[in-house]
Amino acid sequence: MKNKKYKIQPVRNILSSGSQFLLGALLLCAGFFLNSCQKEEEIVISMGEPIALSVSDSILVLSQKQAESNALNINWTRGTNRGTGSSMAYTLEIDKAGNNFSSAKSYAMGKGVFEKSFTVRSLNQLVREEWAIADGVTSSFEARVFADITMEGVDDDTTEVKTFSVTPYKPVSEVLYVVGDATPAGWNIAGATQLTALSSTPWVFIYQGQLSSGNFKFAVSQEDCWCQDFYTKDPDSEGTIVYNEGGSGDDIQWNLEEGGNYKLTVNLLDLTIQIDKLEGAAYSNLYIVGDASPSGWNIGDPEAFTKNPDDPFIFTYEAHLTPGDFKISTFAGDWCDGDWLNPSQADQVLTATDFIVTTGCDGPDNKWRVTAETAGRYKITVNLFNSTIKIVPVNLYLVGDGGPNGWNINNPEPLAFADGVYTFTGELGADNPTGEFKIAKFKGDWCDGDWINPASPNQSLTNSSFIVTKGCDGPDNKWKLQDGDAGTYVITINLDTEEMTITKQ
């Protein structure tokens, strides 16, 4: 009979790992009892392939324009537990080539995980911070994976080392400020105006607003130090900016000969700038003047519009307009001290949507006309960017499951308006005796306008104190009916005197 030599080698998908181990042991033991009188014959039993590693790309030149895209995938196979039936946990190591993994970055991946991915941003940050790789310098890195077999006395499975190269970039600043005597804060760098980064391309920054005649440049922080990084003008190219690290380089600034409304578009990756002077008047304040308004003809102390904090071109004003005339000034002081916004024709109706700009007392001195039929509370919105005006009545609506129309913001219950007072007369709690309600200044969509909310959540109907909130910014307080509150009510609101009453009939 032949002598037989038994050898355990990997073969996948035949037996479970536990069965493989038991079968291998039994066969190995049986071999010792066989006769050895003839030539040896090898019997092979399989228990899985060794763990193997791969990388998606071996040469990586990183660019911030692809910062959020995938840069590198490191994959590995399941590997073998050497027939023990033991579970395996994986650990990925990455180190600079030549370090023999002495300063490796280690990732405990756990069980059942066979991939580690890096975005361009995360890989760039890793090689710059972990190994201090200089920007634009290509360096080689090595990766390997250990499969930790939990059974004691069994050697771990380890991949071969894979090599790849990375060329990192220096990320541009995530914030940018404009400073200079042409800007709203002047040379006060601690109060410098921040530009807005575009969400889709965060290395592009926008400033849109008023600039006066003078100089400006860009800083990367509001730290009160002129030794920080700045972006200044390239003297050889009108549309190019220069990066001055640590305040180095020539401090060449942009100069505006004429003030006005401007849009600045700055691209820190391409090192470009676009300066657009926008059409329309450049004003930081607007005021209402005229006997139809609460200001009367008091040019020395007129009531001011509110500038939109998110859009410096948008101004709004809300008040009760009585029969008479009004126009809009850009200043307070004396009649000929500045510019005016006038309607395009005399005795203009409130539904007109355009205006003209006149200077001082040069006219034409056109005005908007409020009649006895059109008198009421209005919201005036002026857009200096496209030179338009909207004058719309302010209506109030009761919204909530404690009222007649429920939570139907498209068709809420309107309040009547007369002599400056809004009035609701009707049933509360008819459909829901413990329902809620609040009051809208609009209808259409939940965030389209202002709300009149009670001053506190779940406020009792005996408490009529209120606040005004914007859109969906809250707090979303509501009046709440209690047991026994349901019935007929009269609710009055005077927005001029900020008074409200809730009376059960």
| 242 contacts 271 by C-beta, under 8 angstroms | yes
pLDDT tens, residue by residue, 334-348: 998 888 999 989 999
**pLDDT (0 to 100) of residue 293:** 97
For 419-462, write each residue's pLDDT tens digit. Answer: 899 999 999 999 999 999 999 999 999 998 999 999 999 999 99
**C-alpha angle 112/11/79, rounded to 5°?**
25
Enter the tokens of residue 103. Answer: 């300063």
Position 185 scores a pLDDT of 81
Helix, coil or strand: residue 223:
coil
Nearest-angstrom CA–CA distance, 194 and 473: 23
Each residue's pLDDT tens digit, 283-329: 889 999 999 999 999 999 999 999 988 777 899 999 999 999 999 99
Residue-level pLDDT at 289: 98
pLDDT digits (tens, 9 = 90+) for 232-289: 999 998 899 999 988 777 899 999 998 778 889 999 999 999 999 876 556 889 999 9
Question: What is the share, in percent, of the chain residues with pLDDT greater than 70?
Answer: 89
Residue 47: its pLDDT value, please? 57
Give the pLDDT confidence of 58-117 residue by residue, as tens digits. Answer: 999 999 999 889 999 999 999 988 888 888 899 999 999 999 999 999 999 999 999 999
The sign of the CA dihedral 179, 181, 182, 183 is: positive
Q: What tens digit of pLDDT does each residue of 170-205 get? A: 999 999 999 998 887 889 998 888 888 887 789 999
Specify whether the CB–CB gap between 209 and 184 falls below 8 A: yes
Question: Degrees (nearest 5) of the Cα angle 432, 437, 441?
Answer: 145
Mean pLDDT, range 395-402, rounded to an integer:
97
Q: What is the pLDDT of residue 200?
A: 77
> If you average pLDDT over every residue of the chain, what do you get?
87
Please state, in angstroms and rounded to a whole number, the distance separating the CA atoms of residues 435 and 454.
Answer: 14
Q: Which two structure tokens, joined as six digits, stand for 190?
A: 């601690």
Confidence at residue 13, expressed as pLDDT on a 0 to 100 scale: 39
Q: What is the mean pLDDT of residues 364-380?
A: 96
Q: What DSSP element (H or E) covers 471?
A: none
DSSP state of 283: -
Q: Is the dihedral of CA 6, 10, 14, 16 positive or negative?
A: positive
**Which two three-digit tokens encode residue 377?**
């509370």
Tell me the percentage of the chain whose pLDDT exceeds 90. 68
The answer on pLDDT for 48 being more than 80 is: no
Position 6 scores a pLDDT of 36
Nearest residue to 475 (alpha-carbon basis) of 487, 458, 461: 458
Query: What pLDDT does 209 receive?
Result: 73
Asked if residue 368 lies in contact with residue 357, where contact means CB atoms within 8 angstroms, the answer is: no
pLDDT tens digit string along 148-166?
A: 987 877 788 899 999 999 9
Other residues' Cβ atoms within 10 Å of the Cβ of residue 334: 11
Specify whether the CB–CB gap between 181 and 215 falls below 8 A: yes
CA distance 16 to 21: 9
Kind of pairing between the strands at 38-45 and 2-8: parallel
State how far Cα 218 lies from the chain centre: 22
Distance between CA 317 and CA 287 in Å, rounded? 9
Does the pLDDT at position 211 exceed 90?
A: no
pLDDT at 385 over 90: no
Instruction: Report d(CA 343, CA 357) in Å as an integer.
Output: 9
> What CA–CA distance (Å, rounded) separates 217 from 388?
32
> Strand ranges (DSSP E) for 322-396?
324-329, 339-342, 356-359, 368-370, 376-383, 388-393
pLDDT digits (tens, 9 = 90+) for 51-62: 999 999 999 999
Question: In this structure, are residues 72 and 56 in contact, taking their beta carbons and an 8 Å threshold?
Answer: yes
Task: Give the pLDDT score at 14.
Answer: 36
- Token pair listed for 333: 């002081």
Which residue is associated with the tokens 């941003």?
121
Strands 88-96 and 53-55: unpaired
> When comparing pLDDT for 76 and 209, which is higher?
76
* CA pair distance 387, 379, nearest whole angstrom: 17
Give 118's Cβ-side CA count (13 Å radius).
21
Cis bond before residue 364 (omega within 30° of 0): yes
Residue 199 phi/psi, 5-degree rounding, is: -65, -35
Higher pLDDT, 21 or 255: 255
Give 19 or 146, the one with higher predicted confidence. Answer: 146
Write the single-letter amino acid at 406.
G
Q: Give DSSP secondary structure letters for 397-417.
A: EEEBTTSTTBT-TTSPEEPEE
Q: Which of 22-26, 343-347, 415-419 has the lowest mean pLDDT?
A: 22-26
pLDDT at residue 21 in the model: 45
pLDDT at 367 over 90: yes
